[in-house]
Amino acid sequence: MSAKAQRTVDEALAREFGLTAEEYGNVLSIMGRTPSFTELGIFSVMWSEHCSYKSSRAYLKTLPTTAPWVIHGPGENAGVVDIGHGLAAIFKMESHNHPSFIEPYQGAATGVGGILRDVFTMGARPVANLNALRFGDPNNPQTRRIVDGVVRGVGGYGNCVGVPTVGGEINFHPAYDGNPLVNAMTVGVARQDRIFLSAAAGIGNPVIYVGSRTGRDGIHGATMSSSEFDEDALAKRPTVQVGDPFVEKLLIEACLELMATDAIVAIQDMGAAGLTSSAVEMAGKGGVGIDLDLDNVPQRERGMTAYEMMLSESQERMLIVLRPDRTEQARAIFDKWELDFAVIGHLTDTGNIVIRHKGEVEAEIPLAPLADQAPVYRRPTAPAQKPQPMEPIIDPVGVEQALIRLIGCPDLASRAWVYNQYDSTVGGQTVRRPGAADAAIVKVEDTEIGLALTTDCTPRYCRANAKLGGAQAVAEAWRNITATGARPLAVTDNLNFGSPEKPEVMGQFVDAIAGMGEACRALDFPVVSGNVSLYNETRAPDGTSQSILPTPAIGGLGVLENVRQAVGLEMPEGCDVMLLGETKGQLGQSIWLREILGAQDGEPPELDLAAERRNGDFVRGLILDGTVIACHDVADGGVLVAVTEMVMAGQAGCVLDAPQSGMRPEAFWFGEDQSRYVVAVRDGQALATLAAQAGVPCRRLGRSGGEGLTLPSGSTISKARLLAVHSEFFPRLMDR
């Protein structure tokens, strides 16, 4: 072992590295001796929450992950589903929350870079990026800094790499003040017979390092992401990595070029915990050993120790196991793209990972127990606090005023200021850009296939009722895909929660997964990949810590066999505008309640998964046969906001009928009852007949036409006024 004087390894150091006393005890028994400094570093990152999923693994296993169209579910770098014609969509969503608070630009940028690598490492060309962002109170001065940096970072990386950013969602809530959420999703397309996995095989096969050189950035990033922030959070800036999107672009092209040959046995990107996790996981999955000589690792800085190299999270790096006689062929490809290429080791039959540096063995750890004896916790849970029951409602402002306030509020205002900083059309395959439809539609080049892509979650529902909120997030993703005409196939999940060591947070987590699982099963919408981000907490100066709202973000993917059948929000003149699905006028946890009465009370709207499926299947059928010309799901803000968004998206206005009798107008117009769609059809009477046959509640809302939105009162709000109110929030917040 190294004679270099690093810190003495003991329980105190283990604790600093984030291991508990018990976990350190397990390290000692696995090793049969005191580990070296480097070995302790490897254990600590592999057993961190971020890499080991120790608090979440037992529950994640309950989620449905299979369907006839699922090719690879969780366990690989990303999920893989069959989209027909011998092609597969490969996709995943991943968080970069903690780095994005510390250094918003690089945190968000490297979040995009990391998720791109997870997808192209499997052989897919990335075709679309999406994201799900949560920020603090707009009135908090920190929020501006974070929004600005995150949006620039997402765009700075995605635009340069040349992958269109086509969709996403944004919420604001004070619970994210000290802990924003940056969840990035990438979707790629590959041939089904050219999908690359990470399990290493072939004793003696060379282990290759490609991409950027290793520096001291991001050391212990995975551990940082596995603990709460304290008042010194900003001092952790050196743990944030710095991205180089151009190298990523080169890496994509070089890897795809190499993947067109049969040189690769296994490949994985170096993500969280860098070289450690990629080497350990590849060898571990393949049941082989791996010897690495760090002298051969391309380095950006001088004098790096084995510990630093193993724990660095420098970006844009990949680890590849090659067939033995293909090294020169592969090297030529990486030379062409001017990327570093180094043979840094080989596979062995020892079952150990052995790290050599400057002629000394710095680490030698048996891989099986490192994986098998990783901690698994079933942490205590406690029921979350129930929301206050709703007070009897008195509408103080009336429908017109409420609508104006809602479409201008932070959660519903136009996101154009944001997505106009993301290149959404590069590559020339974007059929529906951000804002044009409920899901973004991207054509698969040289085919007629369309992919429908969305990210969804309603954190305020999750806080009020985590199980219902988890189910609702899945249902909303399914609904958004359905509303374009696409068939929903599968989801990736990004589970953002507070500290699992708080029983009520753990309770939210367990409940949310239960709800997600129910919805995924009912809708045949399995989970094929995902990521868990815990310890999203901010410690206040008084020592108390505040958890974020439970935020199980769902990334959904659907497919259209003929992309030309997709519909969006824009409706032509002279259509009947119809509402499908049942309206009970549920205002609990609604945006109306929050924005107009300042209350966050009541139960969220009910979710009947059988009705969800029935209504959705009905709508999708009518889109594909051309009956439905425009479609928008009813979500935040209710029916009136949905119709208004359709008016703002196109040329035609809308003249509304009177609301449902026997219901208060605000409840009808702003209630957030689930499983509903607003559709534009040529013949509303015919639709009503079909709906009755299918058992789908249906009523006419009005007729498209005119210059703006004409309310039942007879008052017309011009489209120009709607757009002005709708587009005011972001520029006012950010450009002042």
Annotated active-site positions, please?
Answer: 50, 96
| Residue 440 C-alpha from the chain's centroid | 15
Q: Residue 167's closest CA among 131, 125, 119?
A: 131
Q: Which stretch binds other proteins (CB under 8 A): 303-311, 343-351, 423-431, 495-503?
A: 423-431
**CB of residue 109 to other proteins, shortest distance in Å:** 12
Counting contacts by CB under 8 A, is residue 337 touching other proteins?
no
Binding flag, residue 242, other proteins (CB under 8 A) = no
Q: Is the dihedral of CA 638, 410, 436, 704 positive or negative?
A: positive
The token pair that represents 548 in the structure block: 């974020």
Backbone torsions φ then ψ of 357, nearest 5 degrees = -150, 125
Identity of the residue, 418 or 513, whose beta carbon is nearer to other proteins in the bound complex = 418
Residues from 269 through 328 that contact other proteins (CB under 8 A): none
- Taking the least distance from each CB to other proteins, the nearer of 218 and 245 is 245
Q: Which is nearer to other proteins, 164 or 659 (CB)?
A: 164
Q: Contact between 428 and other proteins (CB under 8 A)?
A: yes
Per CB under 8 A, does 529 bind other proteins?
no
Binding piece for other proteins, criterion CB under 8 A, among 95-103, 158-166, 472-480, 544-552: 158-166
d(CA 630, CA 680): 5
Of residues 393-422, those binding other proteins (CB under 8 A): 416, 419-422
Site string for other proteins, 14-43 (x = CB under 8 A): ------------------------------
DSSP states along 61-106: TTS----TTEEE-BTBSSEEEEEETTEEEEEEEEE-HHHHHHSHHH
Return d(Cα 733, Cα 735) in angstroms, integer: 6
Q: Tell me the C-alpha distance between 71 and 592, whole Å.
A: 42
Judged by beta carbon, residue 208 or residue 569, the one nearer other proteins is 569
Q: Quote the least distance from Cβ 249 to other proteins, whole Å.
A: 8
Q: Does 562 bind other proteins (CB under 8 A)?
A: no
**Of 121 and 424, which CB lies nearer to other proteins in the complex structure?**
424
Q: Residue 1, Cβ neighbours under 10 Å: how many?
A: 15
Q: Are 717 and 673 in contact (CB under 8 A)?
A: no
Q: Is 704 annotated as a binding residue?
A: no
640-667 b/e (C-beta count within 10 Å ≥ 16 → b): bbbbbbbbbbbebbbbbeebbeeebbbb
The verdict on 168 binding other proteins (CB under 8 A) reads: no
Residue from 82, 228, 244, 456 that binds other proteins (CB under 8 A)?
244
Task: Enumerate residues 248-267 that contact other proteins by CB under 8 A.
Answer: 249
Which residue in the set 139, 425, 713, 718 belongs to the binding site for other proteins (CB under 8 A)?
425
One-character DSSP codes across 600-628: --SPPPP--HHHHHHHHHHHHHHHHTT-E
CB 330 within 8 A of CB 263: yes
- Least gap, CB of 420 to other proteins (angstroms): 5
- The reply on whether position 424 binds other proteins by CB under 8 A is yes
As a whole number of Å, the end-to-end CA separation of the chain is 59
118 is in an annotated binding site: yes
Q: Considering CB under 8 A, how many residues would be counted as binding other proteins?
A: 30
Query: Candidates 151-159, 205-213, 342-350, 598-606 — which segment interacts with other proteins by CB under 8 A?
Result: 151-159
Closest CA relative to residue 684, chosen from 607, 629, 728: 629
Q: Binding of other proteins at residue 433 (CB under 8 A)?
A: yes
Dist CA 203 CA 208 (whole Å): 14
Is 209 annotated as a binding-site member? Answer: no
Choose between 624 and 696: whose C-beta lies nearer to other proteins.
Answer: 624
Backbone phi, psi, residue 502, to 5°? -95, 120
- Is 94 known to sit in a ligand binding site? yes
Q: Closest CB to other proteins among 83 and 641?
A: 83
Helical (H) or strand (E) element with 368: helix 367-372
- Distance, CA of 197 to CA of 200 (rounded, Å): 9
Per DSSP, which regions of 540-581 are E strands? 545-547, 551-560, 576-580
Min dist CB 422 to other proteins, Å, is 6
Nearer to other proteins, 425 or 718 (CB): 425
Annotated binding site for substrate: 95-98, 117, 241, 313-315, 533
Annotated binding site for ATP: 53, 92, 493, 530
- What is the binding site for other proteins (CB under 8 A)? 152, 155-156, 159-160, 162, 244-247, 249, 416, 419-426, 428-431, 433, 443, 445, 563-564, 735
Annotated binding site: 53, 92, 94-98, 117-118, 241, 269, 313-315, 493, 530-531, 533
